[in-house]
Structure 1
Amino acid sequence: MQEAQQGGSAVDETHAAPAKGQPRRGLYVLPSLFTAANIAAGFYAITQSIQGSVTQQAYFDRAALAIGVAVMCDGLDGQVARRTNTTSAFGKELDSLADVITFGVAPAVLAYIWGFRMIPIPAHPLMLDKLVSLGVAVCFLFLICGASRLARFNVSVNPQPKNPGRPGRKYFVGMPIPAGAGVIAAVVHYFHGSPIDDWRMSLLWVGLIIGTGFLMVSSWRFWSGKEVGTDGKKTYRVFVLIAAIGTLIYLDSEDMLMLIALGYLVSGVVARLAYSWGRGRRRAAGLPA
């Protein structure tokens, strides 16, 4: 322990002022508080999903909203850590574990119970059993894809998207897991938590879950938004835009959240298709792809 002689007495370094440019130790707690809120929202969403039923649809809706709140908390903890210069290895690992719970387990449980468990028994019960088993498989697939997406993000040094545009902090490689969970939550909230009661709709639900899982583990380009707010001159514009979007969500959360979630999902698909189409034209013209 370092000591400083001051008037013949030693001063404990824990009481000394932090070095210039070094954040106070208490600031390191701030990002972890948002991460803890993320975990709490995920646990709450799981409990609400379990309690949901055909006659208690509000539980499903509350689970979806909790996941939506967790998406905001996940964005805030990273912003707080970067702006206060309090990023740490502990915070990174805690955030990854929180994401597996809140954006992996919680939406998978919600997707399974809401999309498969509430279907009335048809004339052929065996068909329902097979559909429920299929639901278990695809929801587990969603969870595995999300966990794999997180693992790849943690070990990647300089991931290269296979879509147009230069690689960098502006883009994610694959759809991030909070966005994948947001798609599940937005659809459930759009229907006010009313569970699927038709096996044909469940098959469409299977397709959406599989597609979302694929996009998370793909190498396609998705906008990261990390450059937003880095230019001080445009900060007020970002603030006005966020306030406007927040107001629209408050006025019509069902339509706005569905539009945002599916719009983000489709953006990566459209960018990939546009890149493939442009590359085909360049090859046909004899230009380098």
Structure 2
Amino acid sequence: MRALVPNAVTALALCSGLTGVRYAIAEDWERAITFVIIAAVLDGMDGRIARMLRGQSRFGAELDSLSDVIAFGVSPAIILYLWALQEVPRYGWIFALAHAVCAALRLARFNAAIDVEDQPHKSAGFLTGVPAPAGAGLAFLPIYLWLWTESDVFRQFWVVAPWAALVAILMISNVATFSWTSLRLRSHVRLWALGVIAVVGGALFSAPWPTLSLAAMLYAALIPASVYAYGKVKRSRRAAAAAAPATEA
């Protein structure tokens, strides 16, 4: 029973992501995006529920990856294709495939490295590449902007296709990205953090598309900062490793 609850949440995330495709077929873009976002929220909950209930299992880990491929790889690819990439069907489908394939490759790499002890990014509190849920959120940035501004320029093939390709590359890249689960807030900052979370939550309900647009742009802007921060960690580790033999001698 302890393993059933988190696995059920994972299955709901899969269903939510696929439901986004259903609404995309009906050209209800707001609901299509909303259901993928719900899938991302559920995906963030299942692992924590499993740890809280001590219901972690290899089956759950495999189911989570399969759910992520569908909810954050296949579903966003189809939504983007139906929304804008089908404007140039032959080439648009290639960019849609690129997103789905890169999401699958990223998750396969993650599964293959689960039992690997030497993971420099993970040990330093970073992720390798953009995670699949964040990749789906970034890929939807042109849709957020279109829903916000109602400007058709964000729906043009020459805007959506290069952006989709960039996000796909970031998912399978070795770029170090921040992991919010590794953040440790000091006690005097926690109250401010709660206030910010409350304001952002209110903004999501009252003005979802401007809020999601700004959130996606902020995340993209933080990627160079995360690369710089990991570079500092690497240099400090290198210096400590160089100093260790001298100390022993």
* 1:149 and 2:106 are equivalent in the alignment: yes
In structure 1, the residue matched to 2:243 is none
Distance 1:199 1:227 in 2: 34
TM-score, structure 2 normalization: 0.80
2:20 to 29, 32, 45: 45
Unaligned runs of 5+ in 1: 1-25, 53-58, 120-130, 162-166, 280-289
Quick one: structure 1 residues 39 and 195, their matched pair in 2 at CA, closer, same or farther if it must change by over 3 Å?
farther
In structure 2, the residue matched to 1:136 is 93
In structure 1, the residue matched to 2:39 is 70
Give the helix-richer structure, 1 or 2. 2
Distance 1:229 1:80 in 2: 20
In structure 1, the residue matched to 2:6 is 31
* 1:223 and 2:178 are equivalent in the alignment: yes
SS at match of 1:175: coil
SS at match of 1:103: helix
Q: Is the 8 A contact 2:6 2:47 kept in 1?
A: yes
In structure 2, the residue matched to 1:92 is 61
| 1:179-204 residue CA offsets vs partner (Å, 9 max, x unmatched) | 01112334324423999966993112
Q: Is the 8 A contact 2:142 2:160 kept in 1?
A: no
* 1:187 and 2:162 are equivalent in the alignment: no
Q: CA deviation at 1:100?
A: 0.7
Which amino acid is 1:254 matched to?
W
Identity over aligned pairs, percent: 28
Q: Is the 8 A contact 2:176 2:230 kept in 1?
A: no
SS at match of 1:226: helix
* 1:172 and 2:147 are equivalent in the alignment: no
Distance 2:106 2:166 in 1: 14
Unaligned runs of 5+ in 2: 235-249
Distance 1:43 1:194 in 2: 27
Quick one: structure 1 residues 180 and 199, their matched pair in 2 at CA, closer, same or farther if it must change by over 3 Å?
closer
Q: Is the 8 A contact 1:116 1:132 kept in 2?
A: yes
Q: CA deviation at 1:169?
A: 6.1
Distance 1:87 1:230 in 2: 26
Q: Is the 8 A contact 1:229 1:238 kept in 2?
A: no
* 1:211 and 2:166 are equivalent in the alignment: yes
Q: Is the 8 A contact 1:186 1:258 kept in 2?
A: yes
Q: CA deviation at 1:235?
A: 6.7
Quick one: structure 1 residues 45 and 110, their matched pair in 2 at CA, closer, same or farther if it must change by over 3 Å?
same
Quick one: structure 1 residues 195 and 245, their matched pair in 2 at CA, closer, same or farther if it must change by over 3 Å?
closer
Distance 1:275 1:168 in 2: 11
Farther off after superposition, 100-109 or 261-270: 261-270
Q: Is the 8 A contact 1:172 1:222 kept in 2?
A: yes
| 1:144-197 residue CA offsets vs partner (Å, 9 max, x unmatched) | 111011011111124334xxxxx5262110000100111233432442399996
Q: Is the 8 A contact 1:60 1:193 kept in 2?
A: no
Q: Provide the aligned length of Structure 1 versus Structure 2.
A: 230
1:103 to 51, 72, 76: 72
Quick one: structure 1 residues 191 and 200, their matched pair in 2 at CA, closer, same or farther if it must change by over 3 Å?
closer
Task: List aligned pairs for 1:272-283, cutoff 5 A.
Answer: 272=227
- Give the greater-gyration-radius structure (CA): 1
RMSD: 3.1
Distance 1:72 1:192 in 2: 21
In structure 2, the residue matched to 1:123 is none
